[in-house]
Structure 1
Amino acid sequence: MYHAGLEAFLPASTLALSPLERSVVFLSRNDPLSSVPGQKGFRAWIGRHFGGEPVNELADPKLEALRRLAVVLRQDAAPSERVLRDFLLAGYTRAHADLVARIARQDHRPRKEGQPSRAQWAILLLLAFGAFAVVQSIADQMPVSVIAGALAFVTLASLTTPRSGRRS
């Protein structure tokens, strides 16, 4: 059972992460929030449905608990009870969680300015499909509908991505 303030009586060396554990935290920066089972929220839902390939779990349960917490904290999300419980049962303390949060957020690099997220791309695809469906119901011609959907996607995508032009 966890007792508040217990970390104050532990030697400083027990609160440090090993080089392997620090590597796990740094490598987790590429893992999406959807790779953490039990996380709730819109970003996790979008990631599970539009996120691409799943992330393999680590073979060591202690390191996997560390990875999951690092992913959640890097996203500034609140860890689920399951993630926090697994982390504490793996032998870590809340002071370790604070340390993981500092390391994970320190290494976090935000998207480039103006770069659309996966959720924004998914919304663009849905809007393009809507344009396709509207034109298909009106014109009832597949080639015209496909072209209308593609034009809608390209137009919307060009409006949401940054322009990379030369400055004189």
Structure 2
Amino acid sequence: MAYLDIDNMFAAPVCARASHVEAEPKAGFSALEWSVIALAKRDTLRSLEGTSRVSRALGSLFGLGTASRLADPRLEALRRAAVYAWRRGFALPMAEIERFRDAGFVDAQLETLVVSVTGMRVGRLAA
């Protein structure tokens, strides 16, 4: 039985064919990013809202600190997505997904984040 490679009809060196294969998008995180995800577990959804002057004043008066934002915008986008993942699972707002993507992350990383936090997979068959 013969095999016809329709994508590569004409003979080409094997190394040339391999160069056209696109790399899979990175689905993991660095150690620093994993630590941001772990630290986001103790943050609440309220920590994602902006704080007013009155709430900051009352917080300092009664010793109630607020979670501060991270200085790096990329890590802050990751923290925000992680807080939603810890609290709501796969139910992330579209604005947060866009912020996550705009920070340079890919959808595979978002799925890795939510799966690692919740332990659930989309489309997993019940046994």
1:31 to 2:49 alignment:
no
For the residues of structure 1 that align with 2:118 and 2:36, how far apart are their CA atoms?
14
From 79, 87, 105, the counterpart of 1:67: 79
Give the CA deviation at 1:75. 0.8
Larger helix proportion of the pair: 1
Q: Which residue of 1 aligns with 2:58?
A: none
Q: Which residue of 2 aligns with 1:89?
A: 102
Paired residues of 1:25 and 1:70 also in contact (CA < 8 A): yes
Aligned-residue Cα RMSD (Å) equals 2.0
For these two proteins, the number of residue pairs brought into alignment is 84
Which consecutive segments of 4 or more residues in structure 1 shift more than 3 A? 9-12
Task: Choose between structure 1 and 2 for higher RCO, CA contacts under 8 A separated by at least 6 residues.
Answer: 2
Instruction: Report Cα offsets for 1:79-127 as digits up to 9, x if no partner.
Output: 2222111100011111111111122225xxxxxxxxxxxxxxxxxxxxx
Q: Which residue of 2 aligns with 1:112?
A: none
Q: Which residue of 1 aligns with 2:70?
A: 58
Q: Which residue of 2 aligns with 1:155?
A: none
Give the CA deviation at 1:22. 0.5
Percent sequence identity is 32
* Structure 2: unaligned runs, 5 residues or longer: 1-21, 51-63, 120-127
Instruction: Report Cα offsets for 1:17-55 as digits up to 9, x if no partner.
Output: 0000001001110101111239xxxxxxxxxxxxx5321
Distance 1:64 1:11, change over 3 A: same
